[in-house]
Structure 1
Amino acid sequence: MLDGIVNAITVVGRTVVVGGSFSEVSDANRRTTYLRNNLFAYDLHTGRVLPDFAPSVAGPVYGLAAGDGGTVYVGGEFHGIDYQRARGLARLRLSDGALVPGFEPRIGGGMVSTLARHGSKLYVGGDFVSPRTALARLDATTGAADPGFTVTPGKPLTARVKVHALAVSGKRLLVDGTFTTLDGLSRPQVGLIDIGGRTAKVAAWRTSTYARRCAPEFPSYVRGLDFSPDGRYFVVVTTGGPKGGICDTAARFETYAKGSNVKPTWVNATGGDSLYSVAVTGAAVYVGGHQRWLDNPRGRDSAGPGAVSRPGIGAIHPRTGKALSWNPTRERGIGVKAFYAHSTGLLVGSDTTRLGREYHARIGMFPLP
């Protein structure tokens, strides 16, 4: 990718789909340049850009999810694709980039920031106001809103409610964002929703961890999240400024803990630099942002006692919460906004061109142990 930033990655079969804000991409050999408006796809094994998948997306892409039958769901801040109306959410064919007929979501009043496909359902988060406020469950084929899902985020810390990230594991949906309530129940910035029944309901899980304040310019500071492969725990990463506490950290929580003040199992602090994305593989918790350090709870925009250098990307031991020795480094820039872990490796998307001490223009892949 030759300009801009990667915001989202997904894999459909052997095809990698990349979304963000950009205009040009090239093959892995850097011999051919392709014009691509905010969305492109390439072969996972060869790095070859798919020449026939070239939809023109009229605005940034923030969320992607794999669909059936060689399709992909695309969410973002756009009003059209290839001069056809598509507000915030669309389903496209990988074969030719065309809109899939019959998928007609009614997203309105805002953008889509995150997507998660779960069987026949598609979970959608953002700051939209319809078909529901900021969070919806749609039929993955038609795009119709599911009447059995009415959980509503409320009482935002910012001007409007926004869901930043969501993930699904088994019968639990994990969400974070600017909200402080879910269905009127106190859930400051993070909440779990039971989706196993006919009607979704807020789980009996609450943490006051993110009720604490960070820097004034970050009234809401939760960003990325991810479940472990077995769904037993999850990790949340934050921005927030060099204030300490839970600001600029990664924190592990147990999915099936219960109570009104669930504590994190561990917290790893950068000491003043934002984390935006996280991928949990079981062997490691990979975190990305524009951090300089990990293991730095006493740092205040500086390296405190025990801090380890991990510029832009790092890995944390899932049980101890301490940084692993893995330290490929990357140009920090704005930061890593997208991870995608799969059997072949860990895909990393950002806004810079140096990753693992090599040239990898805004997207690269590491083998997984």
Structure 2
Amino acid sequence: MARLVAFDATTGRIDTTFRPVVNGTVKALAAAADGRSLYLGGSFTSVNGVAAPRVARVDAATGARVAGFAPAVLNNQVNDMRLVGDRLVLGGAFQTVGGVTRRGLAALNATTGAADGTVDLRLDGPRTTTTGVTAPVKVEALDVSADGSRLVFVGNFSTVAGQPRHQLAVAGLTATGAALSGWSTDRYRPQCSARIPSYLRGVDISPDGTWFVAVTTGAAFPGTLCDAASRFEFGTAVGAKQPTWVNYTGGDTLLSVAITGAAVYVGGHQRWLDNPYGRNSAGAGAVERPGIGAIHPTTGKALAWNPTKDRGVGTGELYATDRGLFVGSDTTTVAGEYHARLAFFPLP
């Protein structure tokens, strides 16, 4: 069961009846509306021996392919996805969908897999550092509000729909498609590391849909939002937005974020939070939060919750549910116990 496995959410036991055969990395999952199947996104090109160009739909019990879903061909990997009505919104490193230019962001019909032309926001302007390091346009992560009306996405771009949008953009979603919002910020325009053209790594919208948090890599540079978690309000859809708060690691990458009513959980290979004065060190006021931590949603300060974990490359996935928080990583020790690559925390 390489690359995709199912387990009992209560006991952690592997479900041996779920046995899809996927020939490449799975980067994203989304539950289908029928409650019996799920969508996969990643770098794979086949599932169960049949062509599946970076997207597939499989039975949630067995892993068998769902008949009738034949996705349009994406020419590169999917990094994230959300199901919104009968549209499957995709973000990734792809540049074409079904042979048509759709850089980094697109949608498929959730029933048939056909390309959905209503999500065409024309991402462009791959960033280039002062030393000439660049990369193709891509979307690293995205999220959709619970009511399906707002999309926020982050990645390597500097224009969206012909308008300046540096690494982060907000769009409105309706039954007829997607439209760029007037909401914008210039805070992700500055360069961080000269080796990293784009440095946003994760984004999550609050349960009530009124604000979101973005997390970054990039090293510690005063006055920037590098190596930090930043809260932004949606509010009025205007430009020059500033973060409500910023929590700095002091020079370590954050890769993932999940918001609940009580906390903003962040993961990466960070050593500290509350560390605006640190430069790859613990500055005044810094608190140790290795690999995972929790931030107060209103004050932006680290909460006392501190389970600790091996840092490794970092905590790449955080998934908050009504039952608790699932943590995905490349390491094997969490809270001083053996939890190989996957852990679960019941939450109050």
TM-score range for the pair, normalised by the shorter chain length? over 0.9
Q: State the alpha-carbon separation in 2 of the partners of residues 294 and 107 from structure 1.
A: 42
Preserved contact between residue 135 and residue 197 of structure 2 (Cα < 8 Å): no
Residue in structure 1 matched with residue 212 of structure 2 by the alignment: 234
Residue in structure 2 matched with residue 203 of structure 1 by the alignment: 181
Preserved contact between residue 107 and residue 128 of structure 1 (Cα < 8 Å): no
Higher relative contact order (CA 8 A, sep 6+): 1
What is the CA deviation profile of residues 209-262 of structure 1, one whole-angstrom value per residue up to 9, with x for unaligned ones? 100110111110001000000001000000002324211000000022332210
Q: State the alpha-carbon separation in 2 of the partners of residues 198 and 45 from structure 1.
A: 40
Preserved contact between residue 114 and residue 165 of structure 1 (Cα < 8 Å): yes
Preserved contact between residue 218 and residue 241 of structure 1 (Cα < 8 Å): no
Residue in structure 1 matched with residue 242 of structure 2 by the alignment: 263
Residue in structure 2 matched with residue 112 of structure 1 by the alignment: 78
Residue in structure 1 matched with residue 112 of structure 2 by the alignment: 142
Residue in structure 2 matched with residue 45 of structure 1 by the alignment: 10
Q: State the alpha-carbon separation in 2 of the partners of residues 48 and 302 from structure 1.
A: 40
Preserved contact between residue 72 and residue 108 of structure 2 (Cα < 8 Å): no
Preserved contact between residue 41 and residue 80 of structure 2 (Cα < 8 Å): yes
Work out which of the residue numbers 268, 281, 287 in structure 1 matches 2:266: 287
Preserved contact between residue 192 and residue 221 of structure 2 (Cα < 8 Å): yes
Residue in structure 1 matched with residue 327 of structure 2 by the alignment: 348
Q: CA RMSD for the aligned pairs?
A: 1.1
Work out which of the residue numbers 56, 59, 63 in structure 2 matches 1:90: 56
Q: State the alpha-carbon separation in 2 of the partners of residues 100 and 152 from structure 1.
A: 31
Q: State the alpha-carbon separation in 2 of the partners of residues 155 and 197 from structure 1.
A: 28
Match status 1:163 vs 2:139: yes
Residue in structure 2 matched with residue 328 of structure 1 by the alignment: 307
Match status 1:177 vs 2:155: yes
Work out which of the residue numbers 353, 358, 366 in structure 1 matches 2:337: 358
The letter for the 2-side match of 1:42 is: F
Q: State the alpha-carbon separation in 2 of the partners of residues 318 and 192 from structure 1.
A: 21
The letter for the 1-side match of 2:12 is: G
The range that moved more, 62-71 or 217-226, is 62-71
Residue in structure 2 matched with residue 253 of structure 1 by the alignment: 232
Number of corresponding residues: 334
Q: State the alpha-carbon separation in 2 of the partners of residues 118 and 246 from structure 1.
A: 30
Preserved contact between residue 106 and residue 130 of structure 1 (Cα < 8 Å): no
Instruction: Give secondary structure in 2 for the equivalent of 1:39.
Output: coil
Q: State the alpha-carbon separation in 2 of the partners of residues 176 and 227 from structure 1.
A: 13
Q: What TM-score comes out, normalization by structure 2 length?
A: 0.94
Q: State the alpha-carbon separation in 2 of the partners of residues 312 and 59 from structure 1.
A: 27
Q: State the alpha-carbon separation in 1 of the partners of residues 196 and 95 from structure 2.
A: 23
The letter for the 1-side match of 2:136 is: R
Q: State the alpha-carbon separation in 2 of the partners of residues 215 and 174 from structure 1.
A: 24
Stretches of structure 2 that go unaligned for 5 or more consecutive residues are: 128-133
User: Following TM superposition, by how much is the alpha carbon of 1:197 offset from its aligned partner in structure 2, in angstroms?
Assistant: 5.3
Q: State the alpha-carbon separation in 1 of the partners of residues 260 and 113 from structure 2.
A: 30
Q: What TM-score comes out, normalization by structure 1 length?
A: 0.88
Instruction: Give secondary structure in 1 for the equivalent of 2:14.
Output: coil
Identity %: 51
What is the CA deviation profile of residues 168-211 of structure 1, one whole-angstrom value per residue up to 9, with x for unaligned ones? 01310111000111111111000000112523210010000100
The letter for the 1-side match of 2:242 is: K
Instruction: Give secondary structure in 1 for the equivalent of 2:103.
Output: coil
The letter for the 2-side match of 1:72 is: L
Q: State the alpha-carbon separation in 2 of the partners of residues 326 and 111 from structure 1.
A: 35
Aligned pairs for 1:295-314 (under 5 A) are 295-314=274-293
Q: State the alpha-carbon separation in 2 of the partners of residues 279 and 348 from structure 1.
A: 10
What is the CA deviation profile of residues 305-356 of structure 1, one whole-angstrom value per residue up to 9, with x for unaligned ones? 1000000000000000000000000000011111111111000000111112
What is the CA deviation profile of residues 23-64 of structure 1, one whole-angstrom value per residue up to 9, with x for unaligned ones? xxxxxxxxxxxxx21110011122221111121211111111
Instruction: Give secondary structure in 1 for the equivalent of 2:91.
Output: strand
Residue in structure 2 matched with residue 273 of structure 1 by the alignment: 252
Stretches of structure 1 that go unaligned for 5 or more consecutive residues are: 1-35
Q: State the alpha-carbon separation in 2 of the partners of residues 361 and 181 from structure 1.
A: 40
Instruction: Give secondary structure in 2 for the equivalent of 1:40.
Output: coil
Work out which of the residue numbers 124, 131, 142 in structure 2 matches 1:154: 124
Q: State the alpha-carbon separation in 2 of the partners of residues 209 and 256 from structure 1.
A: 17
Q: State the alpha-carbon separation in 2 of the partners of residues 274 and 159 from structure 1.
A: 19
